[in-house]
Amino acid sequence: MIRFLRWVLMALLAVLTGSLARGAAQPNRVYQVSTAETQLVYTVGEDGRLIFRYYGPRLSNTDQFARWRSYNRPDCNREANYEAYPSFGLGYVNEPALSVVNANGSLITELAFEDYQQHLSEGVMHGVFTLLDQIGSLRVQLHVEAYQEEDVMAQWVTIENQGKGKVSLQRFYSSFLNFRANDYYLTHFYGTWAGEMNCAEERLEPGIKSIESKKGVRTTQSENASFILSLDHPAQENSGRCIGGALAWSGNYKLSFEVDERDYLSLLAGINPFMSAYTLDRGERFETPKFLFTYSADGRGTVSRNFHDWARRYGLHTGTKERPILLNSWEGAYFDFDEQILTNMMDDAAELGVELFVLDDGWFGNKYPRNSATMGLGDWQVNEKKLPRGIQYLIDHATSKGLKFGIWIEPEMVNPKSELAERHPEWIVPSPGREQITMRNQLLLDLTNPDVQEFVWNVVDKLLSTYPDIYYIKWDANRHVEQVGSPYLLPEEQMHFWVDYIRGLYRVYDRIRAKYPDVMLQACASGGGRVDYGSLPYHDEFWTSDNTDALQRVYMQYATNLIYPPVATASHVSASPGHQTGSITPLKFRFDVAMSGRLGLELQPKDIPAEEMAFAREAIANYKTHIRELVTKGDLYRLISPYECTNNHAANMLVRKDKSKAVLFAYCTGFNRRGIRPTVHLHGLDASKRYRITEINKTGKRKAFWGEGHIYDGAYLRQVGIELQIARQYDSAVFLLEEVK
């Protein structure tokens, strides 16, 4: 009886003190990190947890978050699911951003807020939340960068082992974000070799949708580490709430979208935890890559323009520099060339107005001559039979024609039939006791090994120091990781391979950029296998795809430019019939498509029919005079999506920042029956300005717009639009819009 009374008394006391404590609850501390237009808000309550509260348009006052109380589920009285950096531990039910095995074997991590610091420097607000596990030994710093003008945010973490023993990181995402809407629509990118960056949009249902790569290298060939998330309804171009995201990492990644039982959407972005447990010794720190994201209250158009602005300023090497028009030798000559063939190509290229000649694969190897993809990779000496007078002879010839010179390399890989493989079998990613699986007849070098890093650096350094006039390097990577492993790493470190490979690669790139800041680098990995914001700060551009078919490119470049800027999107005019699709396409269509990105040629110039040479020359001249500036620095407005148009049209426009000039590209992707013509509303123009419309790249007298040559109000062009006379598959038109004062 006494025990029962004591129990009742205790229970009463507990209820009383509980409600007293609730009544006297301290307000949350509120922290916010903002760009010009957007804001992230976090709070710290009495339990010391840092909670993610809000990402959206910038609020004039965030004080109200101090009063925030959540209605939690009865079986979960913490808000652990929506912590700013949720860790696996008590009270956790959703996918965590961090999970570890502590030195004592405990699987629990509970991070409590310690401190927040922020400073503003050169347009970037950098906030750092310090979080501590009081019982475990981890100190986690959550970094948030807010790029003021571009409205882009970046998040990443550093994880430090402050304990005495080893800690094993099982998952270590860069970022966690949380959203509440009635519906979630995810636009993501998928494909394969010669068909990268297709665009798909899907409604997210309860459960987890993941976008990931486990390929180690060429990680963007099948899915890209980027997305657009639209809240409430499918993404629109000019309206609706959208979030764009992209991970700045060239290795395995995972983006996970979890719609939970409360209909909240949690997003995790970072390195893929797949077979990647990473051990931290005492005192060691692990830094994750940056996750970049941007918010738009007016559709995906703003998402793209924010990313493009950010990339040009921070995320792409020489982001605002105009790129030369190039002729790449690959589809014009493949492996079958000699000096004469190359110098003839240069002569013809110069005639056309091309500015840079790039010598692709096949120029190296003597014991194992690189006359096909079967041998020689790794032997970076000039093939004396094909090029008896060496590279300098080619450079001199190019220079004499007013062309710059570029060259292809693939320094991360090796053919088993090569002197390199004979000399350094210990540098090759092995599969001890098993059959070695080649891909395109090649194997991967172990870039976790500093000696291999030194070798790769030397390939580049030797080329650039021997031939200081090399202006451009195309960096290829034609296989991914299958039989993972490193003879260099210790047995217990084998799972570090994925992360350490990319860190090794970046170390080499850092050295290259420190010594050769002015050399142009193209990121190529069998085409678009390395299109990510981790590699782009080292590169001036990427090879969008080995598929150069102009119609395919309308789709691919549309999707690519949702996230990555046109100035970096290498886009080449190739032969007809196309080498990948066999399609027969007009030269005009091929030029009109290629000119919406970084223009190049990928053919044997002699194959351009004589009667079309004048058109090719004129198109190249138009690009130089009018379009290149807009591709480099302009704002992209997508006017008709090839994916969404119920007829067979596509159109987009590049607009000068001050809106005084624009170029409109319009394409027919299929046959349109009689009477179906695209009406294009020229969003992006200034309604209060007046514009003269001039058609360029014309092949005859026929006008694609009857009002061509006349002056129109910006408001008219936006609201009424213009109807284009393009109807058959491969019809296309390019218009300049120039302000008339």
What is each CA distance from 730 to 198, 358, 724, in whole angstroms?
20, 28, 14
* 546 is a catalytic site residue: yes
Tokens of 282: 């005492």
Q: What is the DSSP letter of 675?
A: T
CA angle centred on 660, ends 657 and 663, rounded to 5°? 85
From the list 361, 476, 635, 731, the catalytic residue is 476
Instruction: Tell me how far apart the alpha carbons of residues 38 and 79 are, in angstroms, rounded to a whole number.
Output: 24
| HEC secondary structure over 329-365 | CHHHHCCCCCHHHHHHHHHHHHHHCCCEEEECCCCEC
Task: Please provide the DSSP assignment of 181-224 as one string.
Answer: -S-EEEEEEE--TTS--EEEEEEPPSEEEEEEE--SSSTTSSEE
Q: Whole-number minimum distance, CB 545 to ligand DGJ, in Å?
A: 8
Do 47 and 24 contact (CB within 8 A), yes or no? no
- Strands in 635-640's sheet, in edge-to-edge order, are 635-640, 649-655, 661-668, 732-739, 690-696, 711-713
CA angle centred on 36, ends 35 and 42, rounded to 5°? 40
What is each CA distance from 502 to 308, 441, 478, in whole angstroms?
24, 22, 16
Q: Which is nearer to ligand DGJ, 524 or 722 (CB)?
A: 524
Instruction: Tell me how far apart the alpha carbons of residues 503 and 451 are, in angstroms, rounded to a whole number.
Output: 14
* 183 is a catalytic site residue: no
How far the first Cα of the chain sits from its last, in Å, is 96
Q: Whole-number minimum distance, CB 417 to ligand DGJ, in Å?
A: 15
Do 250 and 224 contact (CB within 8 A), yes or no? no
Do 421 and 443 contact (CB within 8 A), yes or no? yes
Instruction: Tell me how far apart the alpha carbons of residues 587 and 607 are, in angstroms, rounded to a whole number.
Output: 11
Binding-site ranges for ligand DGJ (CB under 6 A): 330, 360-361, 408, 476, 478, 524, 526-527, 543, 546
Q: Return the residue nearest ligand DGJ (CB atom).
A: 361
Type of residue numbered 6: R
Q: Whole-number minimum distance, CB 669 to ligand DGJ, in Å?
A: 24
Q: Whole-number minimum distance, CB 623 to ligand DGJ, in Å?
A: 21
What residues contact 5, with CB distance under 8 A and at least 6 apart? none
Tokens of 356: 């840079």
Q: Whole-number minimum distance, CB 476 to ligand DGJ, in Å?
A: 5
- Cα dihedral: 628, 660, 244, 308 (round 10): 30
- The residues annotated as belonging to the active site are 476, 546
